[in-house]
Chain A
């Protein structure tokens, strides 16, 4: 067991390193010269060379990559002399366009993304799993068929369309919700909450539809299992057969998918955040792409990858708790 954990964590570290290397290589190879960007419009070749030298951009790839890695663990500085900027660990780069370390920019926006992700996750888990259960229990009836139709709609409607429709209906026509405006939680919790309702719904709909399908399929599969027949043959009450023998095996795979989906969202819900003007990591990514702010784009990419890898490991660990076949080796 301990060995399993050590192996998983070691593998995770290895994968994160590879992700860093790959991302760094992609940006190194395909992005425009940062020195040119920093230099701005009025620029001379001498000035560019000077910036290159100053920032170490004239160094070979491996040397630059190692400096970058070192920055993650112990921090680094960009340039030297009076113009030097400090970037403390974990340093994921420095945005010269906004004169801020990338890590700081992301940390400022992470709470918003997390709020969006957590709220949406609660909604889609509750909605998706219960709709899936209902659909499975009523397999083949009009309830099942209606839900199946709805999930198809939910999965195919684009986020931004749904966002616009919701805004029009809930805010403009019905006026159930105020027009969204950023309010800190401490100032006005109600306004803060109402502000997030629409993003939560918009983000949750697609996932809820997918989870409805997943849950439905899992439950129907589990109901075919031989051990369910055994449970019935024991004369257990249907309620007990369901609760004890059907639900746990049926919902276990949902945990896996959920872990991955949730982890992916912590790296920012790009479209939803942008549409609702929420200042999260997703919007940061969108803005940086528009401004071509390379260090930030790379930082966001790394952050998202980091969450996905961590999410993977967490799912594996949770699995060892809920599935005895993983917990106790054969």
Chain B
């Protein structure tokens, strides 16, 4: 059964996830099922960022959860680094968890409010019974520095941070186990524009430094454009289009992708051009005044 090992870090084949519809079924009758993910196949190569985009109810988050083994698939398989991980449990699932980490949308609800940053960041290691290399404190401070947090704040609690900072803690926690795949489930959706830009930059920088892959789940196409190398568009549980970022954005094939792209609100290009010209003029003027 084992297929020849390919170069793909993550390979999901024909994933299907069905949920029972609430209120149907009972003691005798079988519940009706709803297919949230319908025959989805997905590949993530080492070091690349695959974005899974779609509207609410498209099944993108469920797909992410299947791939992360947070829920079990109804059918289909997930291979990680050539190994089938679809039915892993116990010790093997633990090992898989140190390879694949998830960053969630709401930073606060995914951080335990009663734990210090140090405890939160080292938690994934402790669950796996591993000791933080170089001691818990130094390890935490190092990670905090890498995600742009003040390392002296290791003793603080989540509530003492802003939304953007809390999301950085979530990212630091994901990085603690040195994963090879980081799944970002709407990781920047809840953030203000300026903070969002910072976190996107951080995600890009970390990838350049560490070389891991992202599976980036998002509904915001403009954000996806800034971070993805490949894009898969989901609708009603299926992937309707998949391709390199520029191909999908510049030359969408599927009607749904086109509708999605054209619905995104845009600032008029002529205003943008004018603004850039002004900005360039200002920069030139500033440079001149410095020379004088």
A residues at B contact (CB < 8 Å):
3-4, 6-7, 10-11, 14, 329-330
Contact between A10 and B23, CB atoms less than 8 A apart: no
B-side contacts of A329, CB under 8 Å: 23
A-side contacts of B28, CB under 8 Å: 10
B267 within 8 A of A: no
Return A16 CB to nearest CB of chain B, in Å: 13
B residues at A contact (CB < 8 Å):
22-29
A-side contacts of B23, CB under 8 Å: 4, 329-330
B-side contacts of A10, CB under 8 Å: 26-28
Q: Which residue of A lies closest to B22 (CB)?
A: A330
Q: Complex formed: what's the CA distance from A17 to B23 in Å? A: 23
User: Can you pick out 13 interface pairs between chain A and chain B where the beta carbons lie within 8 Å of each other?
Assistant: A3-B26, A4-B23, A6-B26, A7-B25, A7-B26, A7-B27, A7-B29, A10-B26, A10-B27, A10-B28, A11-B26, A14-B27, A330-B23
Return A11 CB to nearest CB of chain B, in Å: 6
Return A207 CB to nearest CB of chain B, in Å: 32
Return B24 CB to nearest CB of chain A, in Å: 8
Not counting A10-B26, A10-B27, A11-B26, a sample of 15 additional A-B residue pairs whose C-beta atoms are within 8 angstroms of each other reads A3-B24, A3-B26, A3-B29, A4-B23, A6-B26, A7-B25, A7-B26, A7-B27, A7-B29, A10-B28, A11-B27, A14-B27, A329-B23, A330-B22, A330-B23
Q: Complex formed: what's the CA distance from A10 to B22 in Å? A: 17
Q: Complex formed: what's the CA distance from A330 to B34 in Å? A: 13
A-side contacts of B26, CB under 8 Å: 3, 6-7, 10-11
Q: Complex formed: what's the CA distance from A11 to B27 in Å? A: 7
B-side contacts of A330, CB under 8 Å: 22-23
Q: Complex formed: what's the CA distance from A329 to B31 in Å? A: 14
Q: Complex formed: what's the CA distance from A83 to B262 in Å? A: 90
Q: Complex formed: what's the CA distance from A7 to B29 in Å? A: 9
Return A81 CB to nearest CB of chain B, in Å: 42
B-side contacts of A7, CB under 8 Å: 25-27, 29
Q: Which residue of A lies closest to B28 (CB)?
A: A10
Closest 8 CB pairs of A and B: A7-B26, A10-B27, A329-B23, A11-B27, A14-B27, A10-B26, A11-B26, A4-B23
Q: Complex formed: what's the CA distance from A172 to B273 in Å? A: 94
Q: Complex formed: what's the CA distance from A5 to B209 in Å? A: 60
A-side contacts of B22, CB under 8 Å: 330
Q: Complex formed: what's the CA distance from A238 to B21 in Å? A: 40
Q: Which residue of B lies closest to A13 (CB)?
A: B27
Q: Complex formed: what's the CA distance from A138 to B31 in Å? A: 47
B-side contacts of A4, CB under 8 Å: 23
Q: Complex formed: what's the CA distance from A6 to B22 in Å? A: 16
A-side contacts of B29, CB under 8 Å: 3, 7
A-side contacts of B24, CB under 8 Å: 3
A-side contacts of B27, CB under 8 Å: 7, 10-11, 14
Q: Which residue of B lies closest to A11 (CB)?
A: B27
Q: Complex formed: what's the CA distance from A3 to B23 in Å? A: 9
B-side contacts of A14, CB under 8 Å: 27
Q: Complex formed: what's the CA distance from A165 to B23 in Å? A: 50
Q: Complex formed: what's the CA distance from A4 to B25 in Å? A: 9
Q: Complex formed: what's the CA distance from A329 to B21 in Å? A: 11
Return B20 CB to nearest CB of chain A, in Å: 13
Q: Complex formed: what's the CA distance from A96 to B153 in Å? A: 74
Return B171 CB to nearest CB of chain A, in Å: 32
Q: Which residue of A lies closest to B26 (CB)?
A: A7
Q: Which residue of A lies closest to B25 (CB)?
A: A7
Q: Complex formed: what's the CA distance from A17 to B24 in Å? A: 23
Q: Complex formed: what's the CA distance from A14 to B29 in Å? A: 15
Return A146 CB to nearest CB of chain B, in Å: 33
Q: Complex formed: what's the CA distance from A166 to B251 in Å? A: 84
Q: Complex formed: what's the CA distance from A261 to B106 in Å? A: 38
Q: Complex formed: what's the CA distance from A119 to B152 in Å? A: 64
Q: Complex formed: what's the CA distance from A3 to B24 in Å? A: 8
Q: Complex formed: what's the CA distance from A11 to B28 in Å? A: 10
Q: Complex formed: what's the CA distance from A14 to B28 in Å? A: 12
Q: Complex formed: what's the CA distance from A99 to B115 in Å? A: 64
Q: Complex formed: what's the CA distance from A330 to B29 in Å? A: 19
Q: Complex formed: what's the CA distance from A3 to B28 in Å? A: 11
Q: Which residue of A lies closest to B24 (CB)?
A: A3
Return B36 CB to nearest CB of chain A, in Å: 16
Return B243 CB to nearest CB of chain A, in Å: 36
Q: Complex formed: what's the CA distance from A10 to B29 in Å? A: 11
Return B183 CB to nearest CB of chain A, in Å: 29
Q: Complex formed: what's the CA distance from A14 to B25 in Å? A: 15
Q: Complex formed: what's the CA distance from A35 to B23 in Å? A: 49
Return B169 CB to nearest CB of chain A, in Å: 29
Q: Complex formed: what's the CA distance from A3 to B25 in Å? A: 9
Q: Complex formed: what's the CA distance from A11 to B29 in Å? A: 12
Q: Complex formed: what's the CA distance from A188 to B25 in Å? A: 54
Q: Complex formed: what's the CA distance from A136 to B193 in Å? A: 39
Return A278 CB to nearest CB of chain B, in Å: 40
Q: Which residue of B lies closest to A7 (CB)?
A: B26
Return A63 CB to nearest CB of chain B, in Å: 26
Q: Complex formed: what's the CA distance from A4 to B27 in Å? A: 11
Q: Complex formed: what's the CA distance from A129 to B141 in Å? A: 54
Q: Which residue of B lies closest to A326 (CB)?
A: B23
Q: Complex formed: what's the CA distance from A329 to B22 in Å? A: 9
B-side contacts of A11, CB under 8 Å: 26-27
Return B1 CB to nearest CB of chain A, in Å: 41
